[in-house]
């Protein structure tokens, strides 16, 4: 099956993509394009999947640069893929040929570009990383490499949507402690539960950072199992593990 790659005009003409699970070599609960080296999928199959992604980006597999994602607010500048990968959740580069990549399965994959300045970025932004500042840290990292804040465009890829993201009152209280205005990112759910709008919160943080443009491509990972892996859907189904989606960008 051919790879399915979602793109955005906001990042054109740079080669980039939010890859769905279609077109991969994995089977079973990982069926499709599982690119998660930390999953319990067969390592050689994950390597095949990642090689297919690299080929789609017109790069060698070793050009895929990544970080060891830990739900942090740390972003690092990368001029060549590193092994072991640095512990962070955002990255930026001004080096042509390096393919920035992040893995997600409900969290927000965010790709950034200042095409005029020749600087790109990528971030893994779940609720914790977004709240702690990983999006702003990635933008700052890009600026440190020569990007102009008012030229940076950012696109949020497939992520869990508000209708699928149920949280408890303590979660809501933490966001209210940050800013009472965060109430707009919550809707009433069943009982004392609430529904959190992660992509809208991400867009708010990006736009408040003063960049040129921020958008979400409006695909929910939870509600479309044929196309996307989802940690929360896997948890609800009682499955033992889950695949990871990959999102990439290169100069």
pLDDT value for 15: 98
- CATH code: domain 5-161+197-250 is 3.60.140.10
Domain chopping of the chain, boundaries: 5-161+197-250
1 has pLDDT over 80: no
Tens digits of per-residue pLDDT, 226-239? 999 999 999 999 99
Tens digits of per-residue pLDDT, 155-205? 999 999 999 999 999 999 999 999 999 999 999 999 999 999 999 999 999
Count the Cβ atoms, other than its own, within 10 Å of residue 192: 10
Nearest to 34 by CA among 44, 49, 48, 23: 49
Distance CA 111, CA 91 (A): 10
Torsion of CA 90, 235, 37, 226, to 10 degrees: -90
Tens digits of per-residue pLDDT, 15-64? 999 999 999 999 999 999 999 999 999 999 999 999 999 999 999 999 99
Distance CA 248, CA 16 (A): 5
Distance CA 250, CA 58 (A): 10
Mean pLDDT of 235-245: 96
Distance CA 193, CA 189 (A): 5
As a three-state string, the secondary structure of 159-223 is: ECCHHHCEECHHHHHHHHHHCHHHHHHEEECCCCCEEECHHHHHHHHHHHCCCCEEEECCCECCC
Torsion of CA 118, 127, 71, 106, to 10 degrees: -80
76 has pLDDT over 80: yes
Count the Cβ atoms, other than its own, within 10 Å of residue 40: 11
Distance CA 168, CA 45 (A): 38
Classify residue 20 by its DSSP letter: -
């Amino acid at each position: 099956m051919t790879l399915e790659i979602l793109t955005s005009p906001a990042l054109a003409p740079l080669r980039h993509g939010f890859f769905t699970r279609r077109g991969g070599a994995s089977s079973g609960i990982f069926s499709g394009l599982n690119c998660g080296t930390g999953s319990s999928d067969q390592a050689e199959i994950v390597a095949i999947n990642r090689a297919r992604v690299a080929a789609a980006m017109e790069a060698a597999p070793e050009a895929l640069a990544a970080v060891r994602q830990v739900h942090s607010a740390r972003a690092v500048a990368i001029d060549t893929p590193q092994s072991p990968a640095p512990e962070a959740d955002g990255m930026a580069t001004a080096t042509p040929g390096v393919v920035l990549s992040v893995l997600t399965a409900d969290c927000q994959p965010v790709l950034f570009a200042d095409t005029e300045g020749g600087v790109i970025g990528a971030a893994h932004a779940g609720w914790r990383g977004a709240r702690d500042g990983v999006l702003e840290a990635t933008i700052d990292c890009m600026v440190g490499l020569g990007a102009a804040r008012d030229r940076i465009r950012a696109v949020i890829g497939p992520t869990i949507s508000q209708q699928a993201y149920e949280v408890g009152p303590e979660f809501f209280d933490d966001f209210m402690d940050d800013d009472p205005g965060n109430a707009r990112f919550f809707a009433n759910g069943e009982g004392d539960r609430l529904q959190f709008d992660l992509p809208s919160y991400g867009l708010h943080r990006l736009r408040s950072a003063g960049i040129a443009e921020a958008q979400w491509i409006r695909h929910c990972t939870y509600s479309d199992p044929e196309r996307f892996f989802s940690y929360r859907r896997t948890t609800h189904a009682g499955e033992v593990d889950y695949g990871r989606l990959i999102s990439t960008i290169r100069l």
